[in-house]
């Protein structure tokens, strides 16, 4: 039998032998090493001073400002390029080339008054019906409500092609009910309308 | 009680969908090739192009020869009475016609050429750049005007063949009445038709087509041996008071947007028989009918094989028919 009920006889003998071993003194360098480690941990947990926070905030603001400035310049350059390409295409290219340029402007993410102005010019003056329809579709994507309403008033007042008229009528869904009704009412006053387009205007104009 | 309502609602939706499908599956009105001389001309011009077995390879014939012109035009016999040609001063050609049935074919020629497969004994040139006319008793005075960058054909000329260089960058065609067919053109193409029929066969460049009063037929599949059926650029078609028929190869990569304001959009092979005089031997793939109810703007958007070149078809008063033509190996 052993003193401890859970230990075997061999373990009890080993425990008795260990109790008779002499104590081991600590090494001479142990206190210094302990204090160095303690100091390191204390300095790591020290709070950051306010000047460090201010510097970090300033650096962040500078970085954000520089990014905004670079992005704005890049965006301005893209808009200028797009408008130049569109204007050049509308002046010099045959109809398929003008069509592609108008489509590109309509599919870009660059919503700018100068691009909208060039598209409106194409809508009102291009001799090819397909190009004018593409300009109407493009304006429906990139123009704001006010620009779209202005373009619709001018186009639907003079445009003779039912294809272009229909495309602009579909764009009117983006306008408010009162403004849409006003434009459609004026459009329906024309006597030269295609019956299909007249029917669509009556159904979709909110009248 | 709630379960009964759900069952009733589902049944109502199913019945409504079936009724809607039933309306849409009504056959499209047949196109009558004999309705007018212009319709007959268009049917004749495009009848053979959907039969690749009949396609001919003209490349072995010397370009700019009468034999080559005759081969490209599909005339195996007969006399080519006149062939005139001139060098292109610039990179664009403007063809304007009225009351003429004209085929414009892009081929292995280095200048614009044209011929009229009729006996032209009474014809004569007023000058090289002026007018070719005929004023036989009891007949109209036919006119053909030539300018440095334009070609005008007027008054009842039938089956005029115009060959243009395959690498011509731009072709603009304005037609007031009659029929026009443009085949295998790879440059930028713009066609404006006031009244009549337009066919465009195997265009590979960007194409803008407007028919203000009549039908438009476009075949995107290759029509001659050695050609590839591809559409590399956008295709835009506007038709008022006329159907649009689009035949495309099964492997095409394209994004389609179709609108029918007063009419239907169908996806069926039935149109083949009406265009080919009842000899429908072309296997095609049938899709569910796309048309919707009447009195409603119908719009269809579809990506073929993942999408690609943009195709937009708009008819104000007509039927849009889509025909997917299977490749030769699957027949």
DSSP A185: H
How confident is the model over B21-39, as a mean pLDDT?
49
Q: How confident is the model at residue A3 (pLDDT cuts 50, 70, 90)?
A: low
CA distance B197 to B31: 12
Pure H helices in A93-194: 95-107, 113-125, 129-142, 145-158, 162-171, 177-188
Q: How confident is the model at residue B211 (pLDDT cuts 50, 70, 90)?
A: very high
Pairing relation of β-strands B112-115 and B83-86? Answer: antiparallel
CA B124 remoteness from chain centre:
32
Query: What is the rounded (10 degree) CA torsion for B95, B99, B101, B102?
Result: -10
Strand partners, B170: B92, B188
Q: In this predicted model, what pLDDT tens digit does every residue of B82-141 receive, in sequence order?
A: 555 555 555 788 888 887 778 888 887 777 776 665 544 334 444 444 444 444 444 555
How confident is the model over B207-212, as a mean pLDDT?
95
* Cβ atoms of residues B99 and B175 within 8 Å: no
Averaged confidence pLDDT in chain A? 86
Residue B20's pLDDT is what?
Answer: 44
- The encoded tokens of residue B86 equal 């001139």
Q: In this predicted model, what pLDDT tens digit does every residue of A4-28 receive, in sequence order?
A: 667 788 888 888 888 887 777 777 7
Residue A164 has pLDDT above 90, yes or no: yes
| Lowest pLDDT segment from A33-42, B137-146, B244-253, B274-283 | B274-283
Which of A35-39, B43-47, B123-127 has the largest mean confidence? A35-39
Residue A166: list chain B partners with CB under 8 A: 261, 314, 316
* Cβ atoms of residues A175 and A205 within 8 Å: no
Q: How confident is the model at residue B66 (pLDDT cuts 50, 70, 90)?
A: low
Residue A202: list chain B partners with CB under 8 A: none
Residue A169 has pLDDT above 70, yes or no: yes
CB contact under 8 A, A200 and B190: no
Q: Give the best residue of B240, B294, B301, B313 to mutate against chain A (max A CB count within 10 A).
A: B240
What's the gap in Å between the CA of A48 and the closest CA on chain B? 56
Residue B327's pLDDT is what?
Answer: 53
* Cβ atoms of residues B182 and B173 within 8 Å: yes
Q: In this predicted model, what pLDDT tens digit does every residue of A86-99 receive, in sequence order?
A: 888 888 889 999 99
The 3-state secondary structure of chain B reads: CHHHHHHHHHHHHHHHHHHHHHHHCCCCCCCCCCCCHHHHHHHHHHCHHHCHHHCCCCCCCCCCCHHHHHHHHCCCCCCCCCEEEECCCCCEEEEEEEEEEEEEEEECCCCEEEECCCCCCCCEECCCCCEEEECCCCCCCEEEEEECCEEEEECCCCCEEEEEECCCCEEEEEEEEEEEEEECCCCEEEEEECCCEEEEECCCCCEEEEECCCCEEEECCCCCCCCCCCCCCCEEEEECCCCEEEEEECCCCEEEEEEEEECCEECCCHHHHHHCCCCCCCCEECCCCCCCCCCCCEEEEEEECCCCEEEEEEEEECCEEEEEECCHHHC
How confident is the model over B51-58, as a mean pLDDT?
52
What is the CA angle B74-B75-B79, rounded to 5?
155
Residue B301's pLDDT is what?
Answer: 84
% of chain A with per-residue pLDDT over 90 = 43
Q: In this predicted model, what pLDDT tens digit does every residue of B303-328 receive, in sequence order?
A: 888 888 999 999 998 888 888 776 54
Q: How confident is the model at residue B158 (pLDDT cuts 50, 70, 90)?
A: low
Compute φ and ψ for B24, nearest 5 degrees.
Answer: -70, -25
Numbered residues of chain B with Cβ closer than 8 Å to any chain A Cβ? 92, 170, 172, 188-190, 192, 205-210, 233-234, 236, 238, 240, 261-262, 297, 310, 314, 316-317
Residue B245 has pLDDT above 80, yes or no: yes
Residue B216: list chain A partners with CB under 8 A: none
Pairing relation of β-strands B320-325 and B284-285? Answer: antiparallel
Burial of A65 (0-12, 13-18, 19+ CB in 10 A): exposed
Q: Which residue has the tokens 């006889």?
A: A9
- Global confidence as pTM: 0.70
Q: Give the best residue of A196, A200, A202 to mutate against chain B (max B CB count within 10 A).
A: A196
CA distance A29 to A52: 37
What's the gap in Å between the CA of A196 and the closest CA on chain B? 7
Residue A196: list chain B partners with CB under 8 A: 261-262, 316-317
Residue B63's pLDDT is what?
Answer: 56
DSSP A80: H
* Cβ atoms of residues B86 and B111 within 8 Å: yes
* Cβ atoms of residues A109 and A82 within 8 Å: no
- Higher confidence at residue B221 or residue B44? B221
ipTM: 0.70
Q: Tell whether A134 lies on the interface with B, counting CB pairs under 8 A.
A: yes
Strand partners, B96: B152, B174
How many inter-chain contacts (A to B, CB under 8 Å) are there? 68
**CB-based contacts of A84: which residues, under 8 Å, 6+ apart?**
none
Residue B109's pLDDT is what?
Answer: 74
**Residue whose C-alpha is closest to residue A204's, from A187, A189, B290:** A187
Please name the member of B172, B209, B240 whose beta carbon is closest to the beta carbon of A162.
Answer: B240
| Lowest pLDDT segment from B7-21, B201-215, B268-282, B288-302 | B268-282
Residue B54's pLDDT is what?
Answer: 44
Give the number of other CB atoms < 10 A from CB of residue A193.
Answer: 18
Residue B235's pLDDT is what?
Answer: 94
């Amino acid at each position: 039998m052993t003193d401890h009920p859970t230990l075997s006889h061999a373990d009890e003998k080993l425990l008795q032998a260990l109790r008779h071993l002499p104590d081991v003194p600590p090494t001479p360098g142990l206190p210094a090493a302990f204090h160095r480690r303690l100091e390191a941990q204390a300095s790591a947990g020290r709070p950051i001073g306010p000047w460090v926070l201010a510097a970090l905030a300033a650096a962040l603001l500078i970085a954000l400002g520089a990014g905004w400035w670079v992005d704005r310049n890049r965006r301005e350059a893209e808009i200028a390029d797009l408008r130049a390409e569109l204007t050049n295409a509308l002046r010099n290219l045959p109809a398929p080339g003008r069509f592609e340029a108008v489509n590109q402007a309509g599919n870009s993410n660059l919503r700018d008054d100068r691009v909208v102005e060039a598209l409106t010019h194409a809508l009102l003056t291009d001799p090819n019906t397909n190009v004018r329809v593409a300009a109407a579709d493009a304006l429906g994507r990139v123009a704001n409500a006010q620009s779209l309403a202005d373009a619709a008033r001018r186009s639907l007042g003079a445009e003779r092609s039912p294809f272009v008229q229909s495309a602009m009528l579909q764009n009117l869904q983006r306008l408010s009910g009162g403004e849409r009704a006003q434009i459609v009412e004026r459009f329906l006053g024309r006597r030269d309308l295609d019956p299909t387009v007249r029917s669509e205007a009556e159904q979709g104009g909110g009248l | 009680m709630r379960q009964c309502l759900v069952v009733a609602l589902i049944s109502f939706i199913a019945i409504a969908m079936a009724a809607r499908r039933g309306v849409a599956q009504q056959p499209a009105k047949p196109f009558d090739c004999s309705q007018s001389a212009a319709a007959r001309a268009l049917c004749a011009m495009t009848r053979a192009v959907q039969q690749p077995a009949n396609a001919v390879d003209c490349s072995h014939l010397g370009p700019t020869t009468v034999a080559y012109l005759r081969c490209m035009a599909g005339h195996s016999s007969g006399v080519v009475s006149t062939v005139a040609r001139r060098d292109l001063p610039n990179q664009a050609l403007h063809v304007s016609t009225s009351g003429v049935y004209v085929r414009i074919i892009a081929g292995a020629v280095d200048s614009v050429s044209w011929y009229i497969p009729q006996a032209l004994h009474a014809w004569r040139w007023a000058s090289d750049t002026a007018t070719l006319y005929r004023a036989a008793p009891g007949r109209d005075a036919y006119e053909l005007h030539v300018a440095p960058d334009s070609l005008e054909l007027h008054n009842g000329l039938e089956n005029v063949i115009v060959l243009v260089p395959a690498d011509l960058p731009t072709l603009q065609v304005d037609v007031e009445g009659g029929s026009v067919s443009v085949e295998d053109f790879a440059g930028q193409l713009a066609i404006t038709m006031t009244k009549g029929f337009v066919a465009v066969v195997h265009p590979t460049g960007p194409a803008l087509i407007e028919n203000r009063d009549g039908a438009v037929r476009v075949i995107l599949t290759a029509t001659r041996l050695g050609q590839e059926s591809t559409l590399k650029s956008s295709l835009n078609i506007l038709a008022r008071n006329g159907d649009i028929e689009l035949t495309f190869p099964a492997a095409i990569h394209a994004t389609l947007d179709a609108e029918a304001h007063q009419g239907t959009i169908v996806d069926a092979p039935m149109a083949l028989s009406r265009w080919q005089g009842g000899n429908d031997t072309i296997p095609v793939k049938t899709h569910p009918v796309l048309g919707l109810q009447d009195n409603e703007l119908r719009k269809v958007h579809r990506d073929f094989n993942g999408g690609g070149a943009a195709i937009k078809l708009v008819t104000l008063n007509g039927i849009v028919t889509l025909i997917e033509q299977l490749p030769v190996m699957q027949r």
